[in-house]
Every structure is written in structure tokens, then in C-alpha cells.
Structure 1
Amino acid sequence: MATRNAPSTPRAELIADTALRLLAERGMRGLTHRAVDAAAGLPQGSTSNHARTRQALLETAVRRLAEREAAVLAMDELPPALGGETGDGGDLLDALALALHRYLTTHRALLVARYELALEASRRPELREFYDRAGSRFRTPLNALMAAAGSAEPERHALSLIAWCEGLMFSCAVGSYHSAVPSREELRTGFGELLRGMLGAGTGPRA
């Protein structure tokens, strides 16, 4: 598809960002080529020219979502290991807590857009493949981080870390805790407890 490897331009980013905003504000039904043109203040037909089909428009949104999530979470800024600590302190806990708090407080609309796209991917096999491929960029550094932290099963522990974060983000963004976002210190404590449970007294599963 022509849009898969299209170079990023200011107009392309505007279209993609507007698509994400519409997903957060109006849901999947509110995302149309005409709606993006109108919301972005672009001439009619601009979005269709950039992404001719609905699949192409959804892929544009997924690609931009991954780019913006990478900026919010700043995976490349995470320290490589725990520095010998197992949850009571260290740069890793500070970085994880900061990233998650930043997402929950200033980028909640981005989370809502992600949930809309994830649900749509569950119904569209062609989008599912594209969505999973875009998301895989986050798994590799987390696997490496868990290995550097001393995990004997870094992939399994990375999955546990991701699942904990995903559950907390869903609860605080659109779930029953949407009005009770944890503070950075509370998130830091939670990460410490999770990592201590996985890596503290041995790295294998506990009874």
C-alpha cells in the first residue's frame, strides 16, 4: 500500500494527529476522510489524497500513534538495569513512574485513541498485523531491560510489566479509576513492588 512507507510531512502529521484526535473525541464511527479534512482545516479531498482507503487511514493513525507513544514513554531514555536495587530506589523506577504518569496526566486522549484502534484491529485482520508490528517496537527494549535487570525469563517478565501498565492505564484513563490517577510516587512504589516480586528473591515463579 502506498502509504505504508510514505515520508512524514507536516501535512501528513496533521492528518494523522487529527485522526487520532477524532478517534478520542468521536470514536471509530467519527473517523472519516471528510471529518479529518474538516477538523484539520484542510481542503476537501486532502485526507483521501494522503490515505485513499479506510484501511490506509487507520494505518496512518496507528503509525502516528506508535511515534507519539515512543515520545511520551521515551523508551530510549530508560536506564539499562536496576543498578543493583530491587525496587527501593534507582533510576529505572523514576523513569518508569515518570513515563506512565506523563501518559496518564497529559496524554489521556492518546490512550483513548489507542483503545479504539486496538478494538478495530480485533475485527480487521489486515489492521491487526499492522497494529502488532507497530507495537513490537516497545517489546524488544523491555525484554532487554528485564534481562539487564537480572531476569532469567525476560520475555515473561516483560509481559508482566506491560500487562500491569496496560491494566493501570485502562483503569485510570477510561475505567473506574479515571478520576483517581496515581501520583508519580505511588506509581514508583507500584513499579518497585512489581519488580521486587519478579526479581527480588530469585527470578523464577513463586508459589
Structure 2
Amino acid sequence: MVTKREQVLDAAITVLGTGGSRALTHRAVDQAAAVPSGSTSNYFRTREALLCGVAERLEQRDHLDWAALHRALGPATVDHLIDGLALFIAHATTTDRVRTQARLALFGESQTMPALQESVQRAHHRLRTWAIEMAATVGLSPADTGILVDYLDGAVIHRLTGADRDRDPRDGLARLVHALLP
């Protein structure tokens, strides 16, 4: 069950992902969450605190999605890894487009807010660590998994901006994964 705080953060993700950084205000989040005026401010007194809360909530939701995807793929094989990564790209740029756009907005905001930058970096480190553990099951080293994660970031950004939107990502992923395998 979603708590009121999570409801507020999910609404903040929607506001940020659909309207960009300038649209994110406490009032806009209250309206999007359908909570009484001032509710967002009760949980997050400052804009920076709200953005840090959004970063943490994105991390929670991402981890749940990655875990579900990993379970759905079955035994660890190179083909399952490639299929899973292709599904991730498709999910991040279609079903989860708003959340992905919110995450990208956070990256920009984090350049001027040290607490947010720390939160974004911590979330990225945790997800990268999890990806390293997952990729190790098929023989990828941590350094090579880092290359793969960076490739995924680029592939997602290109699809969000319209480039490569209709191209199946499996070919590029397969070439990269096979090139990185020992």
C-alpha cells in the first residue's frame, strides 16, 4: 500500500517528468497528488528536500522494476541479459517515460544542489552495483558492466529525443555484450 508520503513523491515525479524542473512546486505537487494544500511542504520543507525525496523514490521504484525484470527472465544467460536490457530500454522510453524524464531533470538540478547530487550519485551507485551483480552471472566484469550501463543511458536518451525510436535495441546490445564478454 502506498503511503501519503509516497503518494506525494509519485505526484512530484509526474510533475517533474511532464512539466520539467520549473513546473515542480509544492503547490503543483499538492494538486497532482490530490492532497490538501501544504501537504507537500509538511513532508518536504524546501525544494531541495523535495528533489532529494524524488531521487530516493525513483531509486526505490527502479530497484523494484529491475528485480521484477530479473525474476521474469529466468536463468542467467547472455540472451536473457540482452533481452532484459532491451526490455528495459523499451520500458524506460514508453511505459515509464515520465519517470525517466523526471530522472533526467534531477541530473540537471543536481549540478547546483550538493545534497541532491549526493542523493543522485548514491542511487546511481546502488543501481550500478546491482547491475554488476546481475551481469556477473553471465561473466561480465564490473568495468565492462559500467560500459554497458553507460550505453543503456545513452540509448534511453536517444530514444526519448526521437532518435532511434523505432530501431530494435537488441542488435546493438548483442554486439556490445558479446564484445565485452571474456
- What TM-score do you get using the length of structure 1 for normalisation? 0.78
The alignment partner of 2:169 has SS state of helix
Max Rg structure: 1
Tell me what 2:108 maps to. Answer: 119
Tell me what 1:128 maps to. Answer: 117
Are 1:14 and 2:7 matched, yes or no?
yes
Tell me what 1:170 maps to. Answer: 157
Q: For 1:56-135, what aligned pairs fall within 5 Å after superposition?
A: 56-74=49-67, 76-77=70-71, 81-82=76-77, 90-135=79-124
Between the aligned partners of 2:23 and 2:57, the Cα distance in structure 1 is 18
Higher helix share: 2
Change in 2 beyond 3 A, CA 1:194/1:35: same
Gaps of 5+ in 1: 1-7
Change in 2 beyond 3 A, CA 1:108/1:9: closer
Are 1:196 and 2:182 matched, yes or no?
no
Gaps of 5+ in 2: none
After the TM superposition, which parts of structure 1 deviate over 6 Å for at least 4 consecutive aligned residues? none
Aligned-CA RMSD value? 2.1
- What TM-score do you get using the length of structure 2 for normalisation? 0.88
Per-residue CA deviations over 1:69-122 (Å, capped at 9, x if unaligned) read 22333364366743xx5xxxx322222222222222211111111110011112
> How far 1:149 moved relative to its partner?
2.2
Are 1:140 and 2:141 matched, yes or no?
no
Match of 1:160 among 144, 147, 156: 147
> How far 1:176 moved relative to its partner?
4.1
Aligned length: 180
